[in-house]
Chains A and B, each alone.
Chain A
Amino acid sequence: MLGILALCALALVIVGPMFLDRFSMNVLTRSMIYAILAITVDLLWGYAGVLTFGQAAFFGVGAYATAMLFTQVGSSPTLIGLALVLAIIVPVVLGLIVGWLSFYYGSTPIYATVISLVFPIVVTQLIYSGGTLTGSSSGLVGYTGLPFGLEGFFRLSGICLVIIAVGALIFVRSDGGRILTAIRDNETRCAYLGLNTQRIKIVLMAVLAGVAGLAGFLFANASGVVAPENTGFIFGTELVVWTALGGRGTILGPVLGAIGIDYLSANLSGELPFLWQLIIGSLFIVMIIFLPNGLAALVLRFTRRGRSELPIESSPELVMKTSLHHKNSIDGPLLRIDKLEKSYGSQKVLQDITLDVSPGELVSLVGPNGAGKTTMMRCLTDGNESSRGVVRVAGKDIAGMIPNQIVALGVGRKFQVASVFESLTVAECLRMARAALETPSFVSDSDVLGLPSAAIEILQLTGLDQRLSTQVSLLSHGQKQSLELAMVVALEPRMILLDEPTAGLTKAERTTIGAILKKLTSELGLAAILVEHDLDFVRDISSRIVVLHQGRLVLDGSVEEVVNSEIVKTIYSGGDHV
């Protein structure tokens, strides 16, 4: 299907020059180069959720690198080759820098957008102050580059566009490409699946900067002129407008949006110069408000995929995987907490917590609301949370580590509210949980899904194995909780932390989860720490109970010891039902 489409498109750009007049050919060459940029904006914004105005600057840097080399040095075949390399490498390096600035642990989406605004402004101002080197405000013109005619550039740009569009489509449909959507949906969950989302986004930005630079190289050659406007943030906003109107998150939508609007602009702006911009602006506002996924969404609404009715045979086959890591056993306790403290100013939410947990233990953390249970979970999974004290996982001090590094030590965390990927399918969610262990393919989608046996068992017990191709947003609350548990188990952790896994579940679902947890700990040797309010449930499954009260650990003992203690009865007033 994709192959046929690509061949048709290729045929179109190759025979195109025979039917087009010079003006159209000129304009369309430019439009197709812009369409390449729209693809990069779509991958960043539509798929990964990073709203960026900065792609124009990478494009401009590529174009200027090319034009400056041709103007200052000359244009032999070697130099043209060098220009191509520079036009890609320089933006890639800048992309790494901009990415490093934009994405760090705890950075907000709006901050990345801020950087993407500042970057093109800086580049433009540097070009303005570059004197004869950059041509300042008048740009560079009159250099010679690739020795192609009008038809040649049309075909070259078209072929590049087709290749990049096909590449992008293959990528976003691959198992690896789904990571971008997962990050857009729920970046926290990605981090707690062991994925370094910051690094993924930095790499994505650098690669797409290189693609934008390549488009800049094409533009500098085909147009024979580069100007500061090509690098500016206004152009960056235009790219976003085209992507939005065409349909973000579809690749083809932005391509058609860019070509269509740029071509129409060139034809209409002569007759209705300001009115045309007015129409585009109004259309853009209406689209953003009422049809945020653009024209492509309107088209997709009439197709099967758009209505999320995927055919059942697209379900992957479940395969049991032998465990991939943490095979070496460790000496001593798996988790060692020593005098952990967490305070907000003078307010101490946790103090003097000392606790060891060994493999095979199922420790329940109980205590009234506000006792600090969830805070303690946070301190165990994020090395920047605690105020004092030492937390060691498998012998390693986690101070300063970010969640994905702690996951790599063998800690899986299940959140209180099911944290899954709403726009992925069940199978894709589970694949995300494996992505940090086995790098997924970036060109194909696998038709098998390899999971550890415990995860498969959870799926079978909860019936999720029959719904692998269902989109997660269609699942019930209980199914999402089970899916998240299966995802955490698929990480092959040594220890799982669960925050109220049974909240809002039916009695039957609770029993199932309890049985699974018992099996994971007593048979498979995992350690589990469970925050739970349901004391009957706790009593049934725990091997040990820890009581937190007002930020202090007041009791740590076997189920019998804790349940019969006076202290617990006092804390839980009317504690006789314990």
Chain B
Amino acid sequence: MLIPANSAPSSELKARPGPFVPAVISIRNREPTAMTLLLDIVTTAAILFIVSAGLLAIFGVLEIVNFAHGAWLTVGAYCAVVTGGLGLNPWLALPLAFVTGAVLGGVTERLIVRPLYARPLDAILATWGLGIVIGQLITLWFGRDVQFTENLLSGTIHVFGANYSLYRIFALAAAAVIGLGFAFLMEGTRLGLSARAIIMNEPLARALGLDTSKIRLVTFMIGTGLTALAGVLLTPLTSVDPTMGVAWLIGSFMLVMVAGSSFGALAIACLVFGGAQVLVSTFISPILGGITVAVLSALVLRISSKGFARV
């Protein structure tokens, strides 16, 4: 009898093979078929994309690496915990997380990030410090134990002759929505136009009368809101505890460095490196799979400092 991949997230995905290995890959007890492998690759890429999108929005426009990224994922996941605790529909966690993330992001931009735009390396450090603070606040509030959340979607779906986790297929759709939403935001709205103007030439944008500090604030809020949203979307795939975000930070950071400021490049990077991660995890070792994204990104950057940004 075939055991469907990823059908029971609570039992198969809660263990992490090391501190830096996000539990994206299903741990199977059967040989993977080509179909499930392919599905693993695209859904892993989708999850990586969801997790990195908020970081990219901030880095792409503001050229600031938000090292508190992991903390925002954690905040989002705890929004799901709170929603569950109140007995609400688990889907309500998504808007709750987006709003919480955006509001906290707004405060952060004003107080911490704004003084450091001219000192990008210091901004990495200050946001890392913020990550520590948020992690400790969550620990003080909820304790350091693993929390359980209600599944957003459970069961499997029959796709192309394979039984596959419905939730992972949903993640694929969610990634597409986020990607297309951003494409629309950047190409089709006034905010996107202003953001692109800032990316290209900030002094000129300011001279033309754009309120760049407001655009920076809004961009940062969208980025952090999106990241918190991603935190909710992660809850069915990984355990929820105060340090869960750190495992995702480095992977998404590397993907964003490779992608530069382009969502298209990020999608490609997620597919290529996510695919490599699935293959290494499946055929060699899940522990080495966990460092695939980081190592390959570093090598790509060493060879071409623009990474995939030219794509």
Q: Do A and B form a real pair?
A: yes
Chain A positions within 8 Å of B, measured between CB atoms, are: 51, 101, 104, 106-111, 113-115, 117-118, 121-122, 124-125, 128-129, 137, 228, 232-234, 237, 240-241, 244, 274-275, 277-278, 280-282, 284-285, 288-289, 292
Partner of A106, one of B121, B126, B305: B305
Closest to B302 in A: A101
- Which of A108, A244, A289 gathers the greatest number of chain B CB atoms within 10 Å? A289
Residues on the A chain within 8 Å of B128, using CB: 237
CB distance from B203 to the nearest CB of A (A): 16
Kindly list chain B residues whose C-beta atoms are within 8 Å of the C-beta of A285: 112, 126, 129-130, 133
User: Are A111 and B287 in contact (CB-based, < 8 A)?
Assistant: no
For residue B301, CB closer than 8 A to chain A, the reply is yes
The closest CB in chain A to the CB of B123 belongs to: A288
> Which A residue sits closest to B246, measured CB to CB?
A234
State in angstroms the CA–CA spacing of A86 and B301 once bound together.
31
Question: CA A137 – CA B20 in complex, angstroms?
Answer: 13
A107 CB contact (under 8 Å) in B287, B294, B305: B305
Q: Which residues of A contact B89 (CB under 8 A)?
A: none
**Could you tell me if A284 and B129 are in contact, using CB atoms closer than 8 angstroms?**
yes
Residues of B within 8 A of A108 (CB): 305
Asked if B295 CB lies within 8 Å of chain A CBs, one says: yes
A-B contacts, 22 listed (Cβ < 8 Å): A51-B125, A101-B302, A109-B121, A111-B301, A111-B302, A111-B305, A114-B257, A115-B298, A118-B254, A118-B291, A122-B291, A122-B294, A125-B18, A125-B287, A125-B288, A228-B19, A274-B140, A284-B125, A288-B116, A288-B122, A288-B125, A289-B112
CB-based contact B285/A129 at 8 Å: yes
Chain A contact residues, majority secondary structure: helix
- List B contacts of A288 (CB < 8 A): 116, 122, 125-126, 129
Which residue from A129, A281, A282 sits with its C-beta under 8 Å from B287?
A: A129
Residues of B close to A129: CB separation below 8 A: 285, 287-288
Q: A275-B140, A277-B136 are in contact. Are A240 and B125 (CB under 8 A)?
A: yes
Question: Known interface pairs A274-B139, A284-B132, A288-B125. Does A121 touch B294 (Cβ–Cβ under 8 Å)?
Answer: yes
Evaluate whether A125 and B302 lie within 8 angstroms (CB atoms) in the complex, with A118-B295, A284-B132, A285-B126 already known. no
Give the CA-CA distance A114 to B252 in the complex, in Å.
12
Known: A111-B301, A117-B250, A128-B18. 10 other contacts (CB 8 A): A51-B121, A111-B302, A118-B291, A118-B298, A129-B288, A237-B128, A285-B130, A289-B112, A289-B122, A292-B122
Q: Is the CB of B288 within 8 A of A292?
A: no
B137 close to chain A: CB less than 8 A: yes
When distances are taken between beta carbons in the complex, the residues of chain A under 8 Å from B209 are: none
Known: A51-B121, A277-B132, A289-B112. A124 touches B20 (CB 8 A): yes
B115 sits at the interface (CB 8 A): yes
CB within 8 A of B301: which of A114, A234, A240? A114
Cβ-defined contact, B130 with A233, below 8 A: no
Contacts of B125 in A (CB 8 A): 51, 240-241, 244, 284, 288
